[in-house]
Amino acid sequence: MSRPFPAAAFLPSAGLRPCVVLSCIGASEGDMNLVRSLGLAGVPAILVAEYAEPPARLSRHCSDFVQVPLFSEQPEALLQALRRLAARHGGPLPVLASADPDLEVLARLLAQGASDCIVSTLPDPDLVRRLMDKTEFDRLAAAHRLPVPRTFAPTSLAEARDAAERLRFPAIVKPATPQAWCQSPGLPDAVRRAKALRVDHVDELMALCAQLLPLGATSLVQEFIEGPDEEHFDVHAFIGRDGRAQAVFSGRKWRIWPPHAGSGCLVESLNEPRLEALALDILARIGYRGIANMNFKRDCRTGEFLLLEINPRVSQWGILTTRCGVNLPWLAWRDAQGLPAPDRAPPVRAGRWYVNGLKDLRAVRQYRAEGLTRWSDYLRSLLRWPLVCQTLSLDDPRPALVLTSRWIARKMKASRQSPRRRPAEDPQTPRHP
């Protein structure tokens, strides 16, 4: 009998082992998408979060909640919480990371041998480290001849000058690890918060490196791939422990936040066999296992897809993947339980759209300021159908309702607290003495 993918939402089945979802501060999209994806397949989701009120806690699919403050900085506290959950549920549980900080701490715990409470859903810890450290990823790409843009990892201003002489500008400068810039307090806030920065000539590159390198903010310099933001594509895949690709999905980012160096906020699901075949070949070359979120950009001059990075976790817009019939968290849960893979790959529903409303609006404002879009284009894009929203979901409405009511309450409170303006005086009205 074939085992198809789950298609409709239903209540968690009695006796199914739950899956733990990690939720760090500042990354609420990934955890919401994981909780909903697991719930749609009937898998109980236990949310372990750094803060008390993550939006995913409001989901009807969240079966339990545990707060572990600052676990991304205090791995031992997370380890103890996971051990308590394992004891309560009779053994180690699968754990899924939703963003880079909790991915880092999860990989660290697994490398230290936390198998008494964690069933790994990740690739080999050493491969995770090499994928997250972009300097190591550059070496990995060179060793396996992966199709990546030309990249340099300067450690001094002299090396940065040497890279500048060999680069074709414009170029992109990015942190070597997810936390490399944000953990450098001497940097300007705009740099610390950036995922990547574009430099258009040598002087710009050297000025930026003069800020970064003396502080030990390890960085990569990479040739810019010609083309607008809509040339960014993602491939999401799951590779089982036996090395077989159980599912693959591709999407095109029509808008990203922050523009030019961010995550997709308006995305279309695709049927892109050439890109998907390339992605699976890359994963096979490096011996990858687990959920893969692969970022590509198509060079508008050559039509070639170039790999930017491989994230061993779900995408921030991964709920579109699930709604298109490819439930990667469910596959990871099954694989962690030692259950057989579905007999056939899921049919992907191409032509569906995803929007993250608030981030997309911010992106449109910046694109418009740069002359890259118009408000009429933005409004037309919201009429695409079917449309998957990040927070609003008709089969799980509580998060959107509660978050909207809280937003209204904050606005009303701010309005009451702000000093009232006195009406302007009519210059023709005489003043009282």
Note whether 19-123 and 229-389 share their fold: no
Top-level class of domain 19-123: alpha beta
Is the CB of residue 131 less than 8 Å from the CB of residue 311? yes
Strands 387-389 and 290-298, bridge-based pairing: unpaired
Query: Residue 258: what are its φ and ψ, rounded to 5°?
Result: -65, 150
Is the CB of residue 44 less than 8 Å from the CB of residue 34? no
Element (H, E) at 292: strand 290-298
Can you give the pLDDT at residue 72? 93
CA distance 266 to 130: 29
Is the CB of residue 266 less than 8 Å from the CB of residue 359? no
- The fold adopted by the segment(s) 150-223 is Dna Ligase; domain 1 (3.30.1490)
Domain 229-389, CATH homologous superfamily name and number: ATP-grasp fold, B domain (3.30.470.20)
Residue 321 to residues 34, 206, 257, 271, 362, Cα–Cα distance (Å) = 11, 40, 19, 12, 23
For the chain, how many helices (H) and strands (E)?
14, 16
CA distance 86 to 13: 19
CA distance 282 to 294: 10
Can you give the pLDDT at residue 2? 33
Strands 232-239 and 290-298, bridge-based pairing: antiparallel
The residue whose two tokens read 């989701």 is 45
Identify the CA nearest to 348 among candidates 329, 330, 324, 331: 324
Can you give the pLDDT at residue 421? 52
Is the CB of residue 225 less than 8 Å from the CB of residue 147? no
Query: Residue 65: what are its φ and ψ, rounded to 5°?
Result: -140, 135
Residue 125: CB atoms within 10 A of its CB come to 16
| Entry pTM | 0.88
Low-confidence ranges of the chain (pLDDT < 50): 1-5, 7-14, 424-433
Strands 118-119 and 93-96, bridge-based pairing: parallel
- Listed by start position, the domains of the chain span 19-123, 150-223, 229-389
Can you give the pLDDT at residue 306? 98
CA distance 389 to 320: 9
Residue 35: CB atoms within 10 A of its CB come to 34
Task: Name the CA dihedral angle for 29, 100, 325, 282, rounded to a multiple of 10 degrees.
Answer: 150
CA distance 128 to 288: 10
Identify the CA nearest to 209 among candidates 156, 169, 140, 131: 156
